[in-house]
């Protein structure tokens, strides 16, 4: 792949980091919403959604389940990484490209091979080609590596800061830490148990956790507010250093 890279001086400005974390959150919610909407379209009924968990309706077919599961990362994180890759060649948008690549949590996508969305990639290939299911995880892993390596390699080469390796590793690892602290832990610890109860009974004593088309009110409010903050103020900090 031949791209004329524009070197990026990754800023240490606090506003850039705030913008980056909001972008990470929004990409994750785009991922989850794609699951939710695709599942609803394919079977006519929605399940429920939280900040880090999607649950399809029991009426969704097995093939529909696989399609709605694959749609999530494919048209959010993976698309964002490859859009980011090509933006690295644009002087004005190269920092946005860099941010899209790392806010897409490439290490998280690798981890998802084992029991996450990406398990279906290898599973489908094994079923359609007659290969034993025992190879599904390996096939999924190879596919994910082929998808994420080009953006990561070129992003590394584009960094103009003095300590390039440290910056690369920091943006590779720390976003996953932010994800676990800010999204995964509070979601699974406090929200998911009550949402499951609300979904199963159709009732909730907590207004913020009541479901609207399978979406808890707190999810709608926080996503709308952070989208507004990003588009109204913080997007400018990742457009140009």
Spell out where 14-81 has E strands.
48-49, 54-55
Q: Please tell me the distance from the alpha carbon of residue 16 to that of residue 13, in angstroms, as a whole number.
A: 5
Q: Please tell me the distance from the alpha carbon of residue 17 to that of residue 182, in angstroms, as a whole number.
A: 14
- pLDDT of 51-90, one tens digit each? 998 999 999 998 898 889 888 999 999 999 999 999 999 8
206 to 158, 198, 209, 210: CA distances (angstroms): 48, 9, 5, 7
In the chain, the percentage of residues whose pLDDT exceeds 90 is 64
189 to 32, 38, 180: CA distances (angstroms): 18, 26, 11
Six-digit token string for 123: 């599973």
Q: Please tell me the distance from the alpha carbon of residue 202 to that of residue 209, in angstroms, as a whole number.
A: 11
- The whole-number pLDDT of residue 115 equals 74
For the chain, the C-alpha Rg in angstroms (whole number) is 19
Pairwise pLDDT comparison (180 vs 63), residue with the higher score: 180
- pLDDT of 152-173, one tens digit each? 999 999 999 999 999 999 999 9
- The whole-number pLDDT of residue 3 equals 64
- The whole-number pLDDT of residue 25 equals 97
Name 233's Cβ contacts closer than 8 Å, sequence gap at least 6.
none
- The whole-number pLDDT of residue 240 equals 66
CA 241 to chain CA mean position, Å? 24
- pLDDT of 4-59, one tens digit each? 777 899 999 999 999 999 999 999 999 999 999 999 999 989 999 999 989 999 99
> With contact defined as beta carbons under 8 Å apart, do 155 and 99 qualify?
no
State the average pLDDT over residues 173-190: 93
Residue 213 burial (CB count, 10 A): 11
Mean pLDDT of the chain: 90
Task: Tell me: pLDDT of 220 over 80.
Answer: yes
| Confidence at 2, pLDDT banded by 50, 70, 90 | low
Own/partner pairs, 123-126, CB within 8 angstroms, 24+ separation: 123/66, 124/66
Q: Please tell me the distance from the alpha carbon of residue 111 to that of residue 144, in angstroms, as a whole number.
A: 10
Name 175's Cβ contacts closer than 8 Å, sequence gap at least 6.
20, 24, 102, 103, 105
Task: Tell me: pLDDT of 205 over 80.
Answer: no
């Amino acid at each position: 792949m031949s791209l004329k890279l524009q070197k990026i001086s990754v800023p240490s400005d606090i506003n850039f980091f705030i913008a980056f974390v909001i972008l990470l959150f929004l990409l994750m919610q785009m991922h989850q919403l794609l699951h939710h909407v695709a599942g609803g379209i394919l079977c006519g009924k929605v399940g429920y959604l939280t900040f880090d968990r999607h649950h399809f309706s029991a009426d969704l077919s097995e093939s529909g389940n696989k399609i709605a599961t694959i749609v999530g990362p494919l048209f959010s994180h993976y698309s964002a990484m490859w859009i980011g890759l090509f933006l690295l060649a644009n002087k004005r948008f190269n920092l946005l490209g860099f941010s899209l690549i790392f806010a897409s949590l490439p290490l998280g996508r690798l981890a998802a091979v084992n029991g996450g969305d990406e398990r279906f990639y290898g599973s489908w290939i094994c079923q359609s080609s007659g290969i034993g299911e025992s190879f599904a995880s390996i096939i999924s892993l190879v596919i994910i590596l082929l998808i994420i390596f080009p953006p990561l390699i070129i992003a590394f080469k584009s960094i103009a800061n003095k300590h390039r390796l440290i910056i690369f590793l920091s943006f590779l690892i720390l976003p996953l830490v932010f994800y676990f602290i800010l999204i995964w832990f509070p979601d699974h610890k406090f929200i998911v148990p009550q949402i499951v109860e609300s979904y199963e009974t159709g009732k909730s004593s907590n207004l913020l956790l009541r479901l609207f088309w399978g979406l808890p009110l707190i999810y709608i409010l926080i996503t709308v507010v952070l989208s507004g903050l990003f588009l109204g103020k913080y997007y400018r900090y990742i457009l140009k250093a």
